[in-house]
Amino acid sequence: MTHQPTNAPARRLSARAPFGTTPAGEVVEQIELANAHGLRMSVLSYGGVIRTLHLPDRAGAFVDVALGYDTLDGYLTDTAYLGALVGRVANRIRAGRMTVEGRPLTLAQNADGNHLHGGMRGFDKAVWRMEPFERDDAAGVVLSHVSPDGDEGYPGTLRVEVTYTLDDGNRLHVDYRATSDAVTPVNLTQHGYFNLHGAGRGDILDHELTLNASRFTPVDDALIPTGELRPVAGTPFDFTTPHRIGARIGQADEQLRLGRGYDHNFVIDPRDGDDLALAARLTEPHSGRGVDVYTTEPGIQFYSGNFLDGSAVGKGGHPYRYRTGLALETQHFPDAPNHPEFPSILLRPGAEYRTSTIYHFVVRP
C-alpha cells in the first residue's frame, strides 16, 4: 500500500540558495526541506550542517529548536560543531594515537593534545556535494564528501555519503555510508544541539531525558573513557526513567565533576530483533515538544552544553550561554581504537560502513 499524504506541502524542497563563500572560494549552498505537517529544516553544504529545525508545540506553534548561525562566518569560526556532521572519528582519541594492524598512527591533535571530532579541519569544515531528492512522502538531501589519503593523519581515501530524509511521519532519517581503500577508523555522527524551547530561549535544564542505557563509559580528566562500562544505577547518570537534566547535574559526583556536567557516552541497551534501538527520549514539558532517537549505533554521547559560554552568537543575535543547548550524538564509543574491548571502528577496504539514526519529532500530551 502506498502512503498518500492528504496534505502534502506545495513544495517539499526549496530552491538551493547560495549561503556564502569560504575563504578558499568554495560556494556554500543552503536548501530547505518541509513535510506534510509543516516541519521544516534547512541544510548547508558546509559541514552538512542542519542549520534550522522548526517543530510545533501542543498549540501548533513552531519554533526553531536547532542551535546555529545566521551567516557562513558563524560556521567558519565555530568551535562547538553546531549542527554539523562530524568525522572521520567523532569524539576523542587519546593523544591522537593508535595502532592500526600493528602500525602506529598519529592523528591531528586539536583538543588539549588529543584528537577531537576529526581534527583541525574535520568533516564539519568541508564543503559537501549536496543532491536534493523528493518522494511522495518525504524529501531529503544526499551529501557526499571525499576525504583524501592522509587527511588529518587518517590513512586511505574515504568516500562518505550521508543522507538526510525528512518524512511525513515526522521522522528525520540520517543514513551514513562510507568506503575506504585502506584500513581506517571511522565513527560518524551528527552534532546538532537541541533547545526545545527554541534556540536562544534559555537553558535546557528543564528538559526531561530518558536514555535507554543501563551503563555508561566513565571518563578521566581529559574526558576520555577509562575503559570501564559502569552501571548507572544509583548514580546521577541513571536516565533509564525520565529525569530533568538539571535535577542532579549539580550533585557532588566525581563523573559530573570530570565532565563539567554531562559529557559522557552511554551504552545503549539493545532490544532483540530491532534494527534500530531506542536510544533517547527528550521532552520539553511546557511546550510538549519532544524527540525520540533511534539508532543502529552502540553508544550515544549526551553532552549538556557545558562548554557553551556565550561567546558564540547564534541566530537572531542570541549568544549561546552555558547549557543552552544539548547534543545527543549517536556513535561508537570514544577512543575505541585504544580499547580493544570496545566495539571496533575500523573500516577495511571492500567493506561498507553503514549506520542509521532516526530522530522522531513528537508532541507529547
Cβ-in-10-Å burial (0-12, 13-18, 19+) of 100 comes to middle
For ligand BGC, the closer of residues 12 and 51 by Cβ is: 51
- 307 interacts with ligand BGC by CB under 6 A: yes
- The continuous run of DSSP H or E covering 54 comes out as strand 50-56
DSSP annotation of 80: S
342/9 Cα distance (integer angstroms): 45
For ligand BGC, the closer of residues 215 and 364 by Cβ is: 215
Q: Which stretch binds ligand BGC (CB under 6 A): 29-37, 59-67, 278-286, 300-308?
A: 300-308
164 neighbors 59 (Cβ within 8 angstroms)? no
- 75 interacts with ligand BGC by CB under 6 A: no
- 329 interacts with ligand BGC by CB under 6 A: yes
For ligand BGC, the closer of residues 111 and 183 by Cβ is: 111
- 333 interacts with ligand BGC by CB under 6 A: no
Q: Which of 54, 173, 191, 207 is catalytic?
A: 191
# binding residues, ligand BGC (CB under 6 A): 9
Q: In angstroms, give the least distance from the CB of 265 to ligand BGC.
A: 8
38 neighbors 62 (Cβ within 8 angstroms)? yes
150/154 Cα distance (integer angstroms): 5
x/- letters, 224..263, toward ligand BGC (CB under 6 A): ---------------------------------------x
Q: Annotated catalytic, 207? A: no
Of 42, 19, 267, 234, nearest in space to 140 by CA: 42
- 301 interacts with ligand BGC by CB under 6 A: yes
52/41 Cα distance (integer angstroms): 5
- 216 interacts with ligand BGC by CB under 6 A: no
- 353 interacts with ligand BGC by CB under 6 A: no
Q: Annotated catalytic, 318? A: no
189/116 Cα distance (integer angstroms): 12
Q: In angstroms, give the least distance from the CB of 327 to ligand BGC.
A: 6
- Could you identify the residue written with the cell 567493506? 351
75 neighbors 46 (Cβ within 8 angstroms)? yes
Cβ-in-10-Å burial (0-12, 13-18, 19+) of 246 comes to middle
Among 28, 43, 44, 80, binds ligand BGC (CB under 6 A): 80
135: which strand partners?
Answer: 138
For ligand BGC, the closer of residues 30 and 114 by Cβ is: 114
Active site residues: 191, 329
Question: Which chain residues interact with ligand BGC by CB under 6 A?
Answer: 80-81, 223, 263, 301, 303, 307, 327, 329
